[in-house]
Amino acid sequence: MPQHYTAFRRTIHVDPSFPVHFNVIRTGINNIRTETILKPLSQTDFTGINGGFFTGPSYNQPPTEGRSIAFHIEDAGKLTPGSTSVYRNWNYNGSSTDYKRQKTLILRNNNGTILPHYQYVAKANDVLNQYDNVRQIIGGRDYNPENWGSDSYSLPLPRTILAWTATQAYLMVSTGVSIPDLKKTMELMGSGITPINSIVLDGSGSSCMQITSDSDFNLRGGNRYLFNCIRLARNF
């Protein structure tokens, strides 16, 4: 059976002496899914990357809350496995009491065709009240300094990026790079990828990638517990 994804590596030079290395999974825009996991990606059988920002007691325990919207219509109203109070969907960028407008990918179903676009939203309901065909809402951040702490903006840290075109999704994990230099690499990436049609997910020790059929591509990062991942709906 044909594969529904391609994995490859890219190196982008911010300048001649500064290469940034990327592991990339390319798949159809209709083949990505945000999935609440509350454990390390390595403890799943998913092919994908870590998801958005989150909070919890420690990186070695299940997160208590997300900090980036992680909404899938099929999960609405379901309980997260092992919990009686936390829902699979996380409906806020920020907390439920301190939500913030952040750059967010929205995937809508138009007669079987998935339409991607981004908006700056604080709550899932901002989107759900606007459209009646929403499938997924995936929150992240843009490249503007006001959306980052000084260290997380300026330090060369591993980064996780979700980029898209009209038909393709790119799940990417980089080597250490600051946010300003990450923006420059997105400008040079090609394949229709730009800073405009991409969001930055959680990074540093949370950056990770797993390809179940190719262990050479697996990046464990800190092997942290994650709130959600962005995975392939199908591998083959």
pLDDT band at 1 (very low <50, low <70, confident <90, very high): very low
19-46 pLDDT, tens digit each: 999 999 999 999 999 999 999 999 999 9
154-190 pLDDT, tens digit each: 999 999 999 999 999 999 999 999 999 999 999 999 9
Domain count, the chain: 1
Strand boundaries in the chain, DSSP class E = 5-15, 18-28, 32-39, 48-50, 54-55, 65-66, 70-72, 102-110, 113-121, 134-139, 160-164, 168-174, 198-200, 209-210, 226-232
Q: Is the pLDDT of residue 197 over 60?
A: yes
Give the pTM. 0.96
| Distance between CA atoms of residues 162 and 170, nearest Å | 6
Buried b (16+ CB within 10 A) or exposed e, 74-97: ebeeeebeeeeebebbbbbbbeee
Residue numbers of the domain that contains 32:
5-232
